[in-house]
Every structure is written in C-alpha cells, then in structure tokens.
Chains A and B, each alone.
Chain A
C-alpha cells in the first residue's frame, strides 16, 4: 500500500464513512441539512484527494484476495489506479459534490428526515460509483454496478409517494437488470474460461493472444448487454426518460457522472477485451449510432425540458458507445468526461428554471432570459457545448468521436452521428429559444436561484469553457479539416433551423412537422418502444402469470380439491361401515377368519 493506492482508497472511504454515519446514526440523518453538510464535507475532501490523484497522475494497484477456495482465491478486490479511473474519480466526486451542494437549496423545502435520507442515498451512490471506477476486476465492478443500480432506484423513487416516481424507479431498476443478467452471465462465462476476474491478468492474456476462448464473441456480447442497460442503449433506453421523475439534481447526477456513464466506463475499461471481437465492436458502433439518432429525434418533439435533456443524454451516450465500437474508446471516454460536465450544468440549470417556474413544460416558460440572466447564460454555455461549438469542451470530444468513427470506416454510423449532431443543435436551441426568449408566459415572477444553486452552475460553466480551451491548446484533436467544417456547419444548421422556427417564426413548426408527418408521429410516440414493452409485459408476462394462476387455481388446486373431496367422500362411505351393530362386526371377524383360512391353505 503506497500513496498512489491509499489516496484513491481514501476517496472511496470518505463517502463511505459518511454513508455509514448517516445510515446508522438516525438522529444525524433526521437532522436534514446537517446530514447534507456532513455528506458534502466528506465529498469535498474526497474531491480534493481525487484532484491530487489526477494531477499527480498516480498509477498503481492494490488488491486483496476474496472468496477463498481450494485452488486459491477466486476473486480479488481492491483499487486499480490508472488515468481512466483517475479522470472518473475527479468527475464523479466533482459532480457529486456540486449536486449535493445544489440540492441543499433545491430540496430546501423537504422535511429534514427525508432530506437526510436523500443525502444518505447520495453518499451511497457516490460510494458505489467510486467503487465501480476503482474496480480491479469484473466481480467487484459487478457488485458496485448493482449498487449503482440500487441507488438510482432509491433516488429516482425519492418521492416515493408519487405513483409516477415509484413506477419510474421500478422501471429503471428492472430495465437495467435486464442488461445486468447478460453482464453477470458474461463475466461468469469469462471466468470459467479463463479462471480470473482480474482486468490486469485478462488484458495481459489478451495482449499475448492467449485468450483464444470459444465463444468469446458471445461472452463479450453478454458483457456488453450490461452496458446496454446501464448506458441506456437502444433498445433498453426506455428507463432513462422516465427516470426524470426523480429530483432534478438526481437526474443531473445520474446523467452526468454516475449510472449511465458506468456502461461506457465499463466498455472503455474492457476495451482490450472488446478489441478481440471486432464483430461485437461493430455491433456496439451501430447500436450506439442508432441510439444517438433515435434519441435525438425523440428529443426534438419533447416539450418537457428534463426529458429533452434525458433524450439528449441517451443520444450522447450513443456517441460514446459508437466511439467505443469504432475502436476509439479514448474518444468516447473523453466525450464522457466533457459531457459529464456540461450535462450536469444543463440539468442543474434546468433544475433552477423548474424550481422557480414550477413546471417542466418549455411552452409554459418563455422570456426567462430577462428574469434569470445568469441561469440562462450558463444554460446557453451548456447548449453550445452540447451542440459542439468551439472552443467549448463538447466540440473537441465530439470531433474526436466523429473522426474515430470515420477512421474506423463505419460510414453508416458516421452518417447517423452527423445527422444527430444537426438534430442536437436543433433541439437544444429549440429549448433555449422557447424557454429563455420569446414572450414571457404570463403568471408567476421567475427569479434567479439562490447562490447555493448558482455557484455550482457557474463553476460547471467555467469548467466547460476551461476544459474546452485546455483541449484546444493541447491540440489533442487531430480531426481532418473537412470534418471540423462539417460539424460546425451542422451545428449552425441546427441552430439556424431552431432560430427560424421558434425565434423568428419564419417556418411554422406545425407545418414542418406535418412535412415529416410519419417521423413526427413515431417520435411523439417514442417509436412505440414503450408501448411494445408494455404490450410484451402485458401480453407475455401477465399472460404467463395468468396462465400460471389458472393452472394453480384449477389444475393444482383442482387436484387437491379432488383429493380432498375423495377423502371426504371416502371417509363418509367408510363411516357407514361403522354402523354400530355388534353382529355386523362379527360378520367382519368371520370374513377375516375366512381370509386367514384361505391364505393359510393357498399361499402359505
């Protein structure tokens, strides 16, 4: 144990200690804001430690054996410190910290007890994600993976009295579990083939080409399924928009730093293994690009500001996955980091808007720029970053993704992603124009959010700009010049379209929608995927349950009923034999004697 491993471990231990304290010491938890301060304090120190780890570029690995067995321990737990995990540590702790600070104001009206519960969950969420990030092997990753799922369930269902929130939480839990089944089967198959869960050993074998396992493609596909569920890839993306039922800071946390990034992180982490199976990689690329496009079209017709952002997250996750599928996992990971920053920014800004306006519907907002210029400004910064406008962070990572996909000669996905870039700019500026400009929407006096909420916003906006400039100076993007012009043109086209439609009113949105009627129809109905799942659930699961119920009621119970009826009837019949007349009993004795005689003479 040296400093490079102790410090990352400390990053993990601090929120864990906060969680244990809050979970065990009930009075502290019920204290509400004080519980929040404890959690924030722990997270703040953890963030400092993570920053040190990142800046110093620590590397190292410390493991302890786990699950002892005859042939040595089956798995190891510990911390794996490398640039990927360092960057994730910073992102997770930063976003968690800011979200927790922000929540102090956003959820200020909550009763103290449930606010304490909220911060307990928050700490556990951070613990799970940090543990996942530091995992040196698949097994530990899976454990924390599931904990992340649990925490998202708890936080999405934070307002569990609301049926919609409870349903959304269950939906998120089950849909991601669907993928997790594949994940766990995959890692167990991998273990049975190689005998190890350890990334280090697996990668070493992969590099020596010693990983010639039968069905490696199937195994990696199963593992990828876990990422499909967690990172909301098509067709398991349906839980993410519904997850908006949770408090807005939770959405920010889930979408920016934890939960959905877990899938991308896992694919990035296991990239040397995925590299061995090009067909799975290609699938990842196609699915990612398709998810990006699909989600973008749905975002264009959504009027709920949080849902627009949710679809945009799905879309951007598609970008990241497409990059990973194209073999440019670094680009995907970079996009994950930058996206984490500006998506947290967008969500928190949206939260500030919702907090003051009291509705999620962008068409019931309008003219908010005057009322809350600071929030509007940071929201626009986030929008520009998401649309990919230089020199903001999103531009460079998106360029990296696009060039990575292009270089992998995945033309189809590239075209889809390019179209998505246009749509991204369109739907984001649509929100900006409708919500922040245009005519004010009558009632209510929107006002700027308290500084506890504005502080994180400004910090994130500054970071978005700073990281963008840092990337521009570092010259890390090596995209061809035509690609830069293309994506700029696409972003501008999206902006212009949104401006024309929602600001100037040159193009009537309704006319435009009717021009693309089938697409509009489908997108507004989420392409029927939710309905499909609902139908499948009702048709298959409920049908099966009904069938089982019928079998239980009529066959199983029927057999038992028949048996019991037979017993009753039989007993009733036999009862009549006992007629109480002694001489009839003597007949019985006589028959018994006869039987004995016959038996003795014939069979003895």
Chain B
C-alpha cells in the first residue's frame, strides 16, 4: 500500500464512520458531529492529494473547507437551538413537518 493510498483509505474509513453517525444518531447535534467527521475525511483527501501531487490548491481548499465548516456549524447549531425552543426536542425523527 503506497503512501497516498493509505491516506485515502484512512479518509474513506473516516468518511464511512461519519456517514454511519449521520445515519444512526437520533440527536440533531450528533448528526452534526457525524457531518464534521465526513468533512474531515474530505480534508484529509484534499491535503493528501495536494501533498502527493505537489499542488497547493488542495491545501488552500482545505482552508476554505474548514472555514465553511465553521460557518456551517454555527448556523446549524443556531437552527438546532431555534428548533429546540419551539419543539422542545432535538430528535431528528420528530422533526418531520415535511412529511408527504
């Protein structure tokens, strides 16, 4: 297993774990944590490719991703709190106003 592949497989694993978290957590905050894991996996990918291809773009993109993630977490948590105020729950399955 070459160096790059090792990083990529690691990233894939973390991504899958994050996906598992997103799929299985009942708490909205827990889902957000899963998303964070997935984003981290993507970041690992970007940096690994940047390192092994000698292209700095990946690193810069990682920076952007991290920034956007922060913004996303801020907005996401704000929404969670807003929902919590109204519904008194953060359980995702209960938040089914969009049911057909």
Contacts and interface: CB of A to CB of B under 8 A. Distances in A.
A580 interface: yes
Interface residues of B, number: 13
A581 B93 contact: yes
B22 A579 contact: no
Contacts of B31: 582-583
A473 interface: no
Interface size class of A (residues with CB under 8 A): 10 to 19
A586 B21 CA distance: 11
A587 B23 contact: yes
Interface in A558-604: 574-583, 586-587, 590
Given A583-B22, A583-B23, A586-B23, A578 B100 contact: yes
B86 interface: no
Nearest to A577: B100
B99 to A, nearest CB: 3
A353 to B, nearest CB: 83
Contact of B22 (A577, A578, A581, A586): A586
Q: In the complex, which of the residues A578, A586, A590 has the most CB atoms of chain B within 10 Å of its own CB atom?
A: A586
Contact of B93 (A577, A583, A590): A583
A577 B31 CA distance: 21
B1 interface: no
Contacts of B24: 583
A581 B22 CA distance: 12
A601 B84 CA distance: 43
A587 B100 CA distance: 17
A581 B94 CA distance: 8
A590 B99 contact: no
B99 A582 contact: no
A590 B100 contact: no
B100 A575 contact: yes
B78 interface: no
B63 interface: no
Contacts of B71: none
B17 interface: no
Contacts of B100: 574-580
Interface of A is mostly: helix
B95 A582 contact: yes
Contacts of A583: 22-24, 31, 92-93
A601 to B, nearest CB: 15
Nearest to A587: B23
Contact of B99 (A574, A579, A587): A579
Contacts of B98: 578, 580
A580 B99 contact: yes
A14 B62 CA distance: 100
B23 A580 contact: no
A581 B100 CA distance: 10
A579 B23 contact: no
A581 B96 contact: yes
A582 B96 CA distance: 8
B29 interface: no
A346 to B, nearest CB: 83
Interface string B5-28: 000000000000001001110000
Contacts of A577: 100
Nearest to B31: A583
Given A579-B96, A581-B95, 18 more contacts: A576-B100, A578-B98, A578-B100, A579-B99, A580-B96, A580-B97, A580-B100, A581-B92, A581-B93, A582-B31, A582-B92, A582-B95, A583-B23, A583-B92, A583-B93, A586-B22, A590-B19, A590-B23
Smallest CB-CB A-B distances: 5 pairs: A580-B96, A578-B100, A580-B99, A575-B100, A580-B98
Interface of A: 574-583, 586-587, 590
Interface of B: 19, 22-24, 31, 92-93, 95-100
10 contacts: A578-B100, A579-B100, A580-B99, A580-B100, A581-B92, A581-B96, A582-B95, A583-B31, A586-B19, A590-B19
